[in-house]
Homo-oligomer: A and B are copies of this chain.
């Protein structure tokens, strides 16, 4: 009862945009504001909550980003009829993914060759036919168990220094992150049948389903690399929202 400490929820010091956000979210979830319904304007809400309009604005802006609201000038703000469900996945380096699971990471280079880029790769990345490419095949393991098979092509025209790089101890992924960070990426996830060579390495039967990621990367419009990652049996990509 002494003086009130600034820690508990009851202390109504100043309204944060988080408070506003939470309250608005509550009203949507409890259907106080039903789907498709027009919600009060920023000024009105600012008065109700006793805060500045900017505070309400930030709250509603973030809720819009999260797919709960739909805002239009003049028309006002509405609760989305169908909330946009979106999930965010982090795309970690394999090493980080394995180590953060508390397992021991190991990397092995299975093959390396310099070839003219095959036709499908040129089509995929927009390469000039016959451009020199570095083809790498690698295995990433967790606690000694195969975890991910990596089949990578690097455009040597754009990244000639890759030819001199030593990929026997460092994975191409980590090398590339250092050499060409902040690039533009297209990524796909699919289920594929493990080709024989991949299956052998991952300890599966050929044709068994393998969770697969395909990633193509550009840097300032220039094609850099394309990779197919096949995960060992039982892999799942999970998230909450």
Residues of A bordering B, CB below 8 Å: 28-29, 35, 68, 82-93, 96, 177, 181-182, 184-193, 207-212, 220, 231, 235-241
Contact yes or no, A82 B210, CB < 8 A: no
Return A31 CB to nearest CB of chain B, in Å: 8
Q: State A94–B82 Cα separation when bound (angstroms).
A: 13
Which residues from B are CB-within-8-Å of A235?
190-191
Q: Which residue of B lies closest to A91 (CB)?
A: B85
Pair A191/B177 contact, Cβ less than 8 Å: no
- How many protomers of this protein does the assembly include? 2
Assuming the A-B contacts A193-B209, A211-B190, A239-B186, are A93 and B82 also in contact, with contact meaning beta carbons closer than 8 angstroms in the complex? yes
Interchain CB contact under 8 A, A88 and B86: yes
Closest Cβ of chain B to A123, distance in Å, is 16
> Could you say which of A82, A88, A93, A208 has the most chain B C-beta atoms within 10 Å of its C-beta?
A82
**Please, which residues of chain B bring their CB within 8 A of the CB of A190?**
191, 211, 235-237
A207 vs B85: C-alpha distance when bound (angstroms): 31
Residue among A68, A84, A237 with the most chain B CB within 10 A?
A: A237
Asked if A210 and B187 sit within 8 Å, CB to CB, the answer is no
A84 to B84, CA, bound (A): 24
Q: Which residues of B contact A68 (CB under 8 A)?
A: 182
Residues of B within 8 A of A192 (CB): 191, 209
